[in-house]
Each structure stands twice: as structure tokens, then as C-alpha cells.
Chain A
């Protein structure tokens, strides 16, 4: 069974930049695809994950919380298609994605 996880956060501030959307990564073994869209009001941030590996909800929760703390992605809806990535790869892709959204 695929597992779907959804996390809602209030970031410290709105992410800088005006880029509307960005995508990074590929759905492949040990990798993942992260789609970022600037569609939410102010500092709100939502992360939705579809993963074929079930039972890792707590790990995802921790990685997403750390990412929100570190990059303050206010205004972003983030959608993830996971190919079985390790937490460090997930964190890297999230940081790469938010950096892309900050470029104009």
C-alpha cells in the first residue's frame, strides 16, 4: 500500500523570492521528486508525501520539521513523490527546492 502523509506548519516567515513553482529530483530508487508551489497565504506551509514505504511517518515528520525550521518556507505547498529516499536525501532535496524558489 502507498502511504500518504500530510504535515501543516506555520513557518517563521514567508520565503523570499517571487518564483511561482519549482521541481527538483526524480522518482527513482533512493531518490524523490519535490514539487514546490507558492500558493498558500503568508507563513503557512504544507507538505504532502506519497511514499511506497509505509511506517516511516515519524521520520518524515522530523525531517519536514527540521526543514521548516531551517529554511522557513512560508507560502509553499510542497508535494513529494517518494521513491524510497533516505532522510538525508529528502532533506537535501527540500533545501535544494526552497533555494530554487528563492531564485528569480
Chain B
């Protein structure tokens, strides 16, 4: 299926999970596993008188990107906030385990994360799904599979999605893509408004948003908010996935320890950018994708061999 919403300059942020899969992969290359007609749905939502989705909000399958075979999982951020739940989680875990165990399957997995975290109506199953998924990603990476996260959806990557993203081999993010564990409201509720003012949208976006994640090394490439943008980002990341070995682990540990030391005292993103040596950190917010991507590529902390 090709339509205007899945081609070229169409917004990734605005698109559905299915549109993203169609726009990311080579035309007509996608084969879905456990598609909607199989009706593998949440066994819990009807208990709450809530509508279920035929795919439980996750699309999984195989296809090709620029001719290279890939496995794909895409979360639908608009359905229940793209949440991790029993079925949606199991579909992603199963995909990763299949990649780990079957070397005849594509050995690259693209995770199109778009989730606020665990689905509260099935929270225990959702928490388990997050834990299983992180383990499945690590085990897949140990067996040589490249796991690449693409972040640019409406729900961002929060809670389990943020944790999961951090376990991937490589991460691409757009300006609209937010990556974090606790959402701004959660932090404010638990730690007080002095800690994080969730009403201050400029603060929230500059902290959780894609530009900051890219600059401080939380993402490895910056994607323009379009199908073409994420296609190019995924392609670039697929070409340079680090080995998952002791050296990488030690480099990652050192990277994070250094980051903590350098930025631990900062109370906003702009002060971190100043430490990075960016001359006009206030100008970052209004920079377009191309200009920003070039700047990020010139920053040492944003370009590492770890993860």
C-alpha cells in the first residue's frame, strides 16, 4: 500500500505505525507477522470496557531497507499511548528472540518506538514485557544481531520504551522524538516543581527532546521528521553498528560516568550545551535539521563507539 502519508516528505511524527513501516521500508517489501486478521488481541482490555486493537498496537514483520533484509517492530503511539502490554510486548520479544535463534532471518531489527511506557490496565504483564524485551535485545545483540531504535513518534519513548531504547545498538531521533524514563509530570509529582517544572514546555522539550539527546550522546544520529529522514538515518546506522563485546561495554560505562561527571550539576539543557563548547546554545532550539545534524556531528560527546 502506497499513499501520500507513507512517502517521502510525509511527517513521521504525524504518521501511524503502519504508515511508518510502509514509508521506512522499500515499497511492497513488508510481510507482517501476526497481522490484524489473526486478531491476537489484549485479553485484559474488555474487562475494563475498553476497545482492543486487532494488532494490540504493535506491528511486526520483515522487509527490506535499501535492499537489505530487516525485521521491524512498530508501536502505535495513538492506541493507549503505545503502551507495553501482554500481547504487544510478547510480539516484540518474540521478534527479537527469533532474530537471536534463527540466523536465516534478517540480523538487523528496527524498533520504531512510540510509547509512554507500561499500559496501566495490564501493568504487571507490561512490566514483565519491558524486562523481557530488554533481555531479548541484549541476547540478540550478544548473538550478533543489530538492534536499532528509531524515535520520533507522538508518545516519544518513555518508561519502558526509554529503557528499551537505551539497550539498543544504535539510536536515531528526530527533534520531536523525546527519550526519557519518567515523564515530566511524574518527576514534578514525585520530586516537586523545583526539580522539574512540567508546565515549562521549553524546559521539557529542551531536556527530553531529540536535540538534547543527540548532543549528549543519547542518540547516534539526528533524523529529519519525515519518512525519507528516518530512512536515511536507519540506513546510516545500519552501516556502523558496534560489536557487542567487553570493549563496547567498558566504553559505554566510561561514557556514562564521564557524562554524569560533566553534566551532573547542570539544571537545564542549555547549560549542558555550553559545557559541550557550543558557542550559542540558545540558538539550538531554532536550528533546522540539516544545520543541527552538522553541528551534532562535530561534537565529540555525541559521537562515540560505545553503547
Q: A: which residues have CB within 8 A of B?
A: 1-2, 21-23, 26-28, 31, 33, 35, 37, 50-52, 79, 81-83, 100, 103
Complex: A33 Cα to B76 Cα, angstroms: 12
Are A100 and B54 in contact, CB atoms less than 8 angstroms apart?
A: no
Cα distance A81–B80 in the bound complex, in angstroms:
13
Q: C-beta contact mask, B32-73 vs A, less than 8 Å → 1, else 0? A: 000111000000001001111111010000000000000000
Alpha-carbon separation in the docked complex, A55 to B111 (Å): 40
Bound-complex Cα distance A70 to B76 (A): 31
CA distance A31 to B54 in the complex (A): 14
Out of A1, A33, A52, A83, which one reaches B54, CB within 8 Å? Answer: A33
Query: Which of A1, A21, A79, A81 is the most central at the interface, judged by chain B CB atoms within 10 Å of its CB?
Result: A81
Cross-chain contact B54 with A23 (CB below 8 angstroms): yes
A70–B54 Cα gap in the complex (Å)? 26
With A21-B37, A27-B79, A28-B78 in contact, is A1–B49 under 8 Å at CB?
A: yes
Identify which of A2, A28, A31 contacts B46 (C-beta below 8 A).
A2
In the bound assembly, the distance between CA atoms of A9 and B79 in angstroms comes to: 30
Interface residues of B (CB under 8 A from A): 1, 16, 18, 35-37, 46, 49-55, 57, 76, 78-80
Enumerate chain B residues within 8 angstroms of A21, measured Cβ to Cβ: 35-37
Contact across chains for A37 and B37 when beta carbons are under 8 A apart: yes
Shortest Cβ gap from A68 to chain B (Å): 21
Q: 9 A-B Cβ contacts within 8 A?
A: A1-B49, A21-B37, A23-B54, A23-B55, A35-B54, A50-B52, A51-B51, A81-B51, A100-B1
C-alpha spacing A51/B51, complex, angstroms: 7
Give the nearest-CB partner of B78 in chain A.
A28
Residues on B with beta carbons closer than 8 Å to the beta carbon of A31:
78
Contact B36 A83 (CB under 8 A): no
Nearest-Cβ distance from residue B59 to partner chain A, whole angstroms: 10
**Which chain B residues lie closer than 8 Å to A100 at the CB level?**
1
Distance (whole angstroms) from the CB of A40 to the closest CB of chain B? 14
CA distance A83 to B37 in the complex (A): 19
Pick the contact of B51 from A35, A82, A103 — CB < 8 Å?
A82
Q: For residue A39, give the distance in angstroms from its CB to the closest CB of chain B.
A: 9
Task: Let me know if A22 and B16 touch, CB within 8 A.
Answer: no
Across the interface, name the chain A residue whose C-beta is closest to B50: A52
Instruction: Find the residue from A27, A31, A33, A82 having the highest chain B CB count within 10 A.
Output: A27
B52 touches A81 (CB 8 A): yes
